[in-house]
Amino acid sequence: MRITAIDCHPVWIGHRNQLLLKISTDQGLYGWGESGFSGRERAVIGAVDHYRELLIGRDPMLPGAIWQELYRSQYFEGGRVLTAAISAIDIALHDIRGKALGVPVHQLLGGRVRDRVPALASTFAAPGPEMIEEAQSFVADGFQAIRLQRGGRDANPHEPWEAIGETAPWMARAREALGPSVVLGVDFHHRLSLAETASFCQRLPRGTLDFLEEPMRDETPEAYTALRTMTEIPFALGEEFASKWQALPYIERGLAQYMRLDVCNIGGFTEAMKVAGWCEAHYVDLMPHNPLGPVCTAASIHLAAAVPNFAWLEYNRSRFRPPPQIELDLFPNSPTLQGAYFPVTDTPGIGIEVNEALLSRDEFRYWNPPILRRRDGSFTNW
Ligand SMILES: [Mg+2]
């Protein structure tokens, strides 16, 4: 079997693009992947343009060998643009491989170790009574783990101290309302400094939160080493990691208690399984980042099915954010929750079909994450 075509499809869904990638072969089999570098899709498409030259005519059954070549063959190894492209290619190659062998991808990864994949529910209501009400509805639906909402989520200008002041008291109230058996966390979307994060943590009564997701950016593990001395709350980190080497210091120095790897950014199944194994050796469970579309969700479910050290898969919908109709039309067999779990299916490959007639309707639509500023006019992270 030989690769005959690699096509990128940026599709506007909801409020931004999903970058789908299709690999076709001379035997009629094809595979789908998705890239997670949202907002820089044209850079990833450019990387795929380079990789296409290397991959046409190659055997799609060898994703491990292809991964090495794509990561290393430009002399300048890796980088998040390239690994976002490699991720989509690697997922599509596994999809083809599963279809060729007549097995689901989780079987290629060692076989299932669980029958269903628990999901993490996220509330998008601002800190307040409605946030707690929605969290209670998640608990009633059977969710074990809930991600609460930070203050100032869409605020622009964005002031970190106001966000902390708005968030901290409602974390404590949520714990009181939801009781001791529910897992509670909050994602600060890397908007805080070291001092701001430390103050936020110290305003919470002990035992309020079970995880704090990405309070600061992750370029510097030393910052998290310092933060580790200032709070006992476990950290959930890693959604921006673009290789095992980026994950390395966080795993080995005890800085990530939950690994938030993103299969569409870290380098596909090939790289995700290596990071997962490394985490297993350190008793760190995966809590994968899953903010994209059904291809990412399906790929993450296969990963979760095969990895023993797994906590919850992010589920990015709430009653405030139902799937847009275009997504339902485009992916007729999207993974759907049954209660608080995703079923593990045995459809060959990743099990996703794409209604390709809907793909080429629109020109590429530019999207950039919101540019947030503080009141003094300076830039701050979204
Ligand atoms: Mg996050």
Instruction: Give me ligand 1 centre to Cα 312, in Å.
Output: 14
Residue with tokens 């959930």: 236
Strand (E) or helix (H) holding 342? strand 341-343
Nearest to 107 by CA among 353, 349, 351: 349
Has this prediction a pTM greater than 0.75? yes
Over its length of 382 residues, how does the chain's per-residue pLDDT go in tens digits? 999 999 999 999 988 999 999 999 999 999 999 999 999 999 999 999 999 999 999 999 999 999 999 999 999 999 999 999 999 999 999 999 999 999 999 999 999 999 999 999 999 999 999 999 999 999 999 999 999 999 998 899 999 999 999 999 999 999 999 999 999 999 999 999 999 999 999 999 999 999 999 999 999 999 999 999 999 999 999 999 999 999 999 999 999 999 999 999 999 999 999 999 999 999 999 999 999 999 999 999 999 999 999 999 998 766 666 788 989 999 999 999 999 999 999 999 999 999 999 997 778 999 999 999 999 999 999 9
Instruction: Give me ligand 1 centre to Cα 120, in Å.
Output: 12
Q: What is the pLDDT of residue 319?
A: 61
Instruction: Give me ligand 1 centre to Cα 244, in Å.
Output: 18
Instruction: Give me ligand 1 centre to Cα 239, in Å.
Output: 7
Question: Are 127 and 102 within 8 A, CB to CB?
Answer: no
Instruction: Give me ligand 1 centre to Cα 286, in Å.
Output: 13
Instruction: Give me ligand 1 centre to Cα 335, in Å.
Output: 21
Residues 6 or more apart whose Cβ sits within 8 Å of residue 10 = 17, 18, 19, 20, 41, 42, 45, 364
**Alpha carbon distance, N-terminus to C-terminus of the chain:** 44
Reduced to 3 states (helix: H, G, I; strand: E, B; else coil), residue 192 is coil
CA dist list (Å): 104 to 109, 304, 306, 332, 345:
9, 13, 11, 18, 8
Cis peptide before 157 (omega within 30 of 0): yes
Instruction: Give me ligand 1 centre to Cα 167, in Å.
Output: 16
The residue extents of the domains of the chain are 3-103, 107-349
Residues making up the chain, counted from first to last: 382
Residue with tokens 């509330």: 123
Instruction: Give me ligand 1 centre to Cα 236, in Å.
Output: 9
Backbone φ and ψ for 141, nearest 5 degrees, come out as: -80, -5
Q: What is the pLDDT of residue 253?
A: 98
Class at the top of the CATH hierarchy for domain 3-103: alpha beta
Sequence-ordered alpha helix ranges (H) in 141-236: 160-178, 194-202, 221-228
Instruction: Give me ligand 1 centre to Cα 291, in Å.
Output: 9
Q: What is the pLDDT of residue 318?
A: 66
Instruction: Give me ligand 1 centre to Cα 212, in Å.
Output: 10
Tally helices (H) and strands (E) across the chain.
Answer: 12, 14
Instruction: Give me ligand 1 centre to Cα 3, in Å.
Output: 35
Q: Domain 107-349 belongs to what topology?
A: TIM Barrel (3.20.20)
Question: Are 125 and 131 within 8 A, CB to CB?
Answer: yes
Instruction: Give me ligand 1 centre to Cα 189, in Å.
Output: 5
